[in-house]
Homo-oligomer: A and B are copies of this chain.
Amino acid sequence: MAEQNSTKMVGKQSIVFANPPMILAGSSIAGKKEGEGPLGHLFDTVQEDPMVGKKTWEEAESELMKEAATKVLEKAGLKNSDIRYLIGGDLLGQLIATSFGVADLNIPTLGIYGACSTMGEAMLLASILVDGGFADRVMAITSSHFAGAEKQFRFPLDYGNQRPFSATWTVTGSGAVIIVNPDLHKPNPGEKAIVVKGVTVGRIVDYGLKDSMNMGACMAPAAFETISANLEDMNVSPDYYDRIITGDLGYVGKKILIDLLKEKNIDISNNHMDCGIEIFDKDKQDTHAGGSGCGCSAITFTAYVMKQLREGAWKRVLFVPTGALLSQVSFNEGKTVPGIAHAVVVEAV
């Protein structure tokens, strides 16, 4: 046991898996605006109705999650009873999108919250459960909804508030992956297997920023610390990864992240990508600083990043969803907005 430990724990906060768990399938359910963006043609489903046939924004988000879960099971050729555990979360207080979205699946469930870093946390915990031999198949799922998030964190939509240029646009969408024991499943013929080689659990990083309309700046320091820790723990340089993919820093946060890393003589300017920047067209869609939300990195990963890996365009990426740890209460009480970022090392093999 002691020896086994030493091979899995790497550096201060990272893990390398003995038998890297496989991401068997991923699903992406996107909203209308996301469907009109540069990745629109890659999503499994584009939901044209922002209410998804429901009566409230929250129910609509739960429905997106239900669709993502159903789709990923279908793509994996599995039934809900084949999934031992489900790990999921969202941005709404007390995770109501998740609770009402996944309850019908009847899968033992672990609720998690890492703001927009939640997909990273879900994937890392799912991989730990599989690699540790505690489960053969685990679903990781997250969602966000533009209107539900505005209501939760900012202003009622009817108020028509003006958004500063540093603000990001919460992605409407839900993404899910099924992570499995690689001894039990094979990838589709002709496709590469996508595996999780390791993870880095992030710390809560607080640089004292208080602007909930500039979450990129609040989260960039957390991405900086987690990426630095990953490179150090794994003892690799940035070019070890074909892409270092942050969740939703947007244009403002991306610049800060690259600058912070440069001060440590780490240059990721050539291989950095941000899901919040990829998902919307800067010129045509005018979302200001880019996209954000638990759903942003989730559907960009499942629709675009997994495709690039499967087709061999990229061999290895560091997926780093980033979260801003605020609530309307903490914001109104004048608290800072700390950030957190979790990293997942994903490889095509």
Seen from chain A, the residues whose Cβ lies within 8 Å of a Cβ on chain B are 1-2, 4-5, 7-9, 12-13, 15, 18-19, 55-56, 58-59, 84-85, 89, 91-96, 99-100, 102-103, 106-115, 121, 125, 128-129, 131-136, 152, 181, 183-184, 200-204, 206, 325-330, 333, 335, 338, 340
Contact = CB atoms under 8 A, between A and B. Distances in A.
A66 to B, nearest CB: 13
A109 B323 CA distance: 12
Contact of A325 (B99, B203, B328): B99
Contacts of A335: 96, 100
Given A5-B181, A133-B9, A204 B94 contact: no
B84 A13 contact: yes
A109 B226 CA distance: 12
Given A58-B333, A181-B5, A183-B2, A202 B108 contact: yes
Interface centre among A9, A111, A200, A333 (most CB of B within 10 A): A111
A121 B125 contact: no
Contacts of A107: 203
A221 B147 CA distance: 33
A345 to B, nearest CB: 14
A100 B208 CA distance: 12
Nearest to A129: B128
Contact of A111 (B2, B15, B121, B152): B121
A109 B200 CA distance: 11
Contacts of A327: 92-94, 96
B5 A109 contact: no
Contacts of A106: 203
Given A181-B1, A327-B93, A9 B136 contact: yes
Contacts of A12: 108
Contact of A125 (B18, B125, B330): B125
